[in-house]
Amino acid sequence: MYQSQLFTKTRKEAPKDEVSKNAQLLIKAGYINKEMAGVYDYLPLGLRVLSNISNLIRREMNIVGGQEIALTALQDKTPWEKTNRWNDEVYDIWFKTKLKNGTELGLGTTHEEPLTSLLKNHIHSYKDLPIYPYQIQTKFRNETRAKSGIMRGREFLMKDMYSFSADQNSHDKFYEKMKKVYLRIFTQVGLGDKTYITFASGGTFSKYSHEFQTISEAGEDTIYICDKCKLAVNKELIKEQNTCPECGNEKLREEKGIEVGNIFNLGTKFSDALDLVYLNDKGEKQKVIMGCYGIGPSRLMGTIVESLADEKGLVWPTEIAPFKVHLIEIGDKPEVQKKREEIMAKLEKSGVEVLCDDRALRPGEKFADSDLLGLPLRIVISEKTLSSGDFEVKERMGGKVSLLKEAEMFDFVKKYK
Amino acid sequence: MYQSQLFTKTRKEAPKDEVSKNAQLLIKAGYINKEMAGVYDYLPLGLRVLSNISNLIRREMNIVGGQEIALTALQDKTPWEKTNRWNDEVYDIWFKTKLKNGTELGLGTTHEEPLTSLLKNHIHSYKDLPIYPYQIQTKFRNETRAKSGIMRGREFLMKDMYSFSADQNSHDKFYEKMKKVYLRIFTQVGLGDKTYITFASGGTFSKYSHEFQTISEAGEDTIYICDKCKLAVNKELIKEQNTCPECGNEKLREEKGIEVGNIFNLGTKFSDALDLVYLNDKGEKQKVIMGCYGIGPSRLMGTIVESLADEKGLVWPTEIAPFKVHLIEIGDKPEVQKKREEIMAKLEKSGVEVLCDDRALRPGEKFADSDLLGLPLRIVISEKTLSSGDFEVKERMGGKVSLLKEAEMFDFVKKYK
C-alpha cells in the first residue's frame, strides 16, 4: 500500500488526555482513535494488527478442535437470573438497555449463560462430547475507571473458548493442553520471555485457576515468580500459597503483571444451574463438565505496545505487524520511483506486505514516522542506492542496520513474510 | 471437517415461534440460534456463510480503494446532538445505555457522526482526498417488530462504506462506480437476476438515492420495475415519479422486494454540522462531500435463503457455501472408510472444503440432512461405488445427478473450489 493513500496521519504530540503508553503511541501513530475512556476505534493500521492477532489465535483454536461461533451482544436476562449474575449488586459490570416495550436487556461481558442454554439443543449423548466452541467477538464491561488505553476497555475484543466434557479426566487433559497452547500464542506475539503462567484461586470446582501474566511496569496486577519453575502465584492466592506450587521454592520475586489470558475450571456450575445434561453409555443422566479459556486480542495488542515499544515509537513483532516492510523513497527522481515500483511489486509477489512511503516529505520526517509506525523492516531507496547498489535495511527491533546488494536484500526479507 | 465432530444438530421440526422461512430453515439446519426476536447467534455453519459473504464484500471494497476500520458500538452523544439524531423522538431506533456515572450512551446503528468527527484529525488538504473508509461490524437497531428472521435484526452485521470527496464531480464518479460494484456483489452471491437497482428519494443534496431490491415474496417493500431498463422505482418515489427515470416507460411492473443494499449522496450534510473542511489548492476552506454505501451481510444471507432454498432445505451458491462438498459415507465397511479418507484428503489438498458425513445413521437420514444443509455438491461413497467405480455426484441447485468415474469426479469438483 502507498502511504500517500493511507488516510490516517501521524501526530507530533501524544494526546494530553491519555496517561497510558499504549494509547498515547497508538493514537500518535494513527492506529486507533479515542471515542471515550476505554472505547477506541481501530483505524486501518490498528485493525490490521488486531486482525493479525485474532487470526493467530483463531489458528491455534482450530488446531485443538475449536469450532468458531458468534454469540450476540444483546442478552436476555432469563439464564443470567438462574446463575445469579443478572443483579447489578452481585455482578456490577453490566451495561443494560431496553427494548421499546420496556424489556430489560444486558450487553454481553461473557457468554457462559447463553452458550450453555443453547447447547441444550445440541448435546444429548456422551457421543456428542467433548466440544470446544469459541468466538472472537466484541464484549462490553461497565468499568468505573478506564485509564489503561486498549488494555482495559469498556468495549473490547475477546476470544472466549468454552470446553464441554463428559468427565473430569477428559476435561483435565484438555485444560492442560490449553496451557501449552496459550504459552505458544504469547510466544508468537513476542511476549514469550515475559509471560508467566500464574496460579490463581480456583473457586468451587478446583484448587487453582490459571492466569497468564506478562511482566510490565504498566501492569495493574502483582505476581510472585518462581524463577526455578518459570511460573508465578497471583496476589489473591499468595495469602494462602506463599511458596511455589510446583517445587516449594520460598524465594518468590515480586513483579507487576498484565493479565493477558486466563483459564478456568467451571466444573458443573453452569450445567447445574441451566440443566445441561447428557446420557452416558448406560443411559444415565450426567452433568456436563465445563471450562473456559479467555484471551483479549485488544488487551494483548496494548500489552505488546507496553512491552516492546521504545522512545521512538511502536515496535511490532513480524507475526502481527500491519505490514512487514516499510519501503522509504528518498527524493523524487523518476529512476528512483521506477526502482521503488519494481521492488514493491517483487516483494508483494513473493507474499511480503509492503507499506511504501511515497509522500513528498523530507527524509527526516519519513524516518521519524517510520520509527513511530514500527514495521519490522525499513528499506531505503534513493539515488545513492541506485548508484552504489547498496540497500539500507534496518530492523526496527534492535535497530541493526545492514547494507545489502539487491539479491541479498530479497533473501533477507524472506524471513519477514 | 467430519460431521460427527460438528457440534450442531439438525432438527426435524422448524421452531414454532418463527414465521420467516429464513429463520425456520437456518434454525432447523443448526446454522443459527435465536436469543430473542431479531437477535440470533451464528453457529459454525452459519458463521462460515456469514464470513464468506463478508469476505466477498471486503474484497470488492478493497478493489475500489476502501480502507477497513472498526468503529465502536458505544456512542457518545456529542456529535449526534449536532446533527439532531440523538433525540429519540427524532431518531427512534436507538438502544441507549449508561456509564456508571450516569452518562448516557447510545449503541451505534450507523456511523456518519463519529467517522466525520474523527476524520477532522486526518483530513486537512485536498491532497488528503478522496478517501473511502469502510467497516464490517455489528450494529444495533431497536426495532418494534422483528419477525423477519435475520433479515431484520435488532443486532446485525453491516458493511458501511463512506466516501469523502473534494468536489461533486469526483463524488459522482465514485457513486456511479459503486452502483456497478454492488450489482457485481449481488451477482456473486446468486441474486443477480432477481436484484434491481431502484430509484428512491434523494433528500437535500440529490434528486435520487438508490436501493438494491431483490424480488421476493418475503419482501417488506414494494417496487415498480421497468423491464426495458432492468431498474425500478420504490414506493415512496413512485408518487412523484410514476414512469421509468431512464426511458420514460409508463408500464411498470409491481413486485415485492427486499432491500439488500443502498447508496446515498450525503452532500455536505455531515461536514456542515460537524465542520469537516479541507484547504483547496488556493488555500481556501471547503466542505468535504460525502456519500454512504451499505450492505448488511446478515440480511443478505437471509435474502439468499428466502430466494434459493426449496422445500427440502437450504441451497447455497458456491461462493458462500460453508463447505463446497458434502461427502456422504454409506455403510461402515473399512474399505469404504479408507476410500472416504483418500478422497477427502485429495479434495482438501486441491483447496476444496469438504464436510464428510461419517455418522452412523441410515442413508435416508443422511440424505435428508444433506438436502437441509444445502452444500453445492453431494458425493456418495458406498460399497456400490467401490465395486462399480461410479461416484454419484448430485448438484444441490437444480438437483442434477451424475455418475462419474473417479478422475471425472475430481475434474467436476474443481469448479466448486
Q: From first to last of the 417 residues of chain B, give the pLDDT tens digit.
A: 999 999 999 999 989 999 999 999 999 999 999 999 999 999 999 999 999 999 999 999 999 999 999 999 999 999 999 999 999 999 999 999 999 999 999 999 999 999 999 999 999 999 999 999 999 999 999 999 899 999 999 999 999 999 999 999 999 999 999 999 999 999 999 999 999 999 999 988 889 999 999 999 999 999 999 999 999 999 999 999 999 999 999 999 999 999 999 999 999 999 999 999 999 999 999 999 999 999 999 999 999 999 999 999 999 999 999 999 999 999 989 999 999 999 999 999 999 999 999 999 999 999 999 999 999 999 999 999 999 999 999 999 999 999 999 999 999 999 888
pLDDT band at A332 (very low <50, low <70, confident <90, very high): confident
- pLDDT in the model for residue B9: 96
What are the sequence ranges of the domains in chain B?
21-308, 323-414
Those of residues 286-305 in A touching chain B at CB distance below 8 A are none
- pLDDT in the model for residue A349: 94
In whole angstroms, give the CA distance from residue B337 to residue B318: 26
A129 touches chain B (CB under 8 A): no
Partners of residue A140 in chain B, C-beta under 8 Å: 73-74
Question: pLDDT tens, A36-64?
Answer: 999 999 999 999 999 999 999 999 999 99
* pLDDT over 90 at A198, yes or no: yes
Question: pLDDT tens, A343-365?
Answer: 999 999 999 999 999 999 999 99
Torsions phi, psi of B306, nearest 5?
-60, -35
Partners of residue A105 in chain B, C-beta under 8 Å: 36, 95
* A195 grid coordinates: 509471560
Q: Which residue of A has its CA nearest to B124?
A: A9
Could you tell me if the ipTM is greater than 0.95? yes
* pLDDT over 90 at A404, yes or no: yes
B155 touches chain A (CB under 8 A): yes
Question: pLDDT tens, A90-128?
Answer: 999 999 999 999 999 999 999 999 999 999 999 999 999
* pLDDT over 90 at A311, yes or no: yes
Residue % of chain A over a pLDDT of 70:
100
* A256 grid coordinates: 507487576
Question: How many beta-carbon pairs under 8 angstroms link A with B?
Answer: 135
A32 Cα to chain B: minimum distance (Å): 9
Question: pLDDT tens, A12-32?
Answer: 998 999 999 999 999 999 999
- pLDDT in the model for residue A361: 95
* pLDDT over 90 at A205, yes or no: no
Q: How far is CA B288 from its chain centroid?
A: 29
* B288 grid coordinates: 468535504
Partners of residue B7 in chain A, C-beta under 8 Å: 67, 119, 122-123, 128, 131, 133
- pLDDT in the model for residue B397: 96
Question: pLDDT tens, A156-180?
Answer: 999 999 999 999 999 999 999 999 9
A8 touches chain B (CB under 8 A): yes
Domains B21-308 and B323-414 share a fold: no
- pLDDT in the model for residue B101: 95
Q: What angle do CA B190, B53, B67 make, to 5 degrees?
A: 125
Q: Is A73 in contact with B140 (Cβ distance < 8 A)? A: yes
A57 touches chain B (CB under 8 A): no
* pLDDT over 90 at A217, yes or no: yes
Who among B5, B11, B44 is closest to A69 (CB)? Answer: B44
Q: What does the mean pLDDT of chain A come to?
A: 96
Widest Cα–Cα separation across chain B = 81
pLDDT band at A273 (very low <50, low <70, confident <90, very high): very high
Asked if B157 and B138 touch (Cβ cutoff 8 Å), the reply is yes
Who among B97, B119, B142 is closest to A99 (CB)? Answer: B142
Topology at the third CATH level for domain A323-414: Rossmann fold (3.40.50)
In whole angstroms, give the CA distance from residue A338 to residue B209: 42
- pLDDT in the model for residue A204: 81
Topology at the third CATH level for domain B21-308: BirA Bifunctional Protein; domain 2 (3.30.930)
Of B288, B260, B22, B339, nearest to A7 by C-alpha is: B288
In whole angstroms, give the CA distance from residue B153 to residue B303: 13
Partners of residue A50 in chain B, C-beta under 8 Å: 70
Q: Which residue of A has its CA nearest to B131?
A: A7
A208 Cα to chain B: minimum distance (Å): 29
The model carries a pTM of 0.97
Instruction: Supply the DSSP symbol for A339.
Output: H
Of A342, A364, A360, A393, nearest to A3 by C-alpha is: A360
Who among B35, B74, B121 is closest to A72 (CB)? Answer: B35
A123 Cα to chain B: minimum distance (Å): 8
B144 Cα to chain A: minimum distance (Å): 6
* pLDDT over 90 at A203, yes or no: no
A257 Cα to chain B: minimum distance (Å): 27
B65 touches chain A (CB under 8 A): yes
In whole angstroms, give the CA distance from residue B284 to residue B269: 19
Strand partners, A42: A32, B70
Q: Is A67 in contact with B7 (Cβ distance < 8 A)? A: yes
Who among A36, A114, A119 is closest to B35 (CB)? Answer: A114
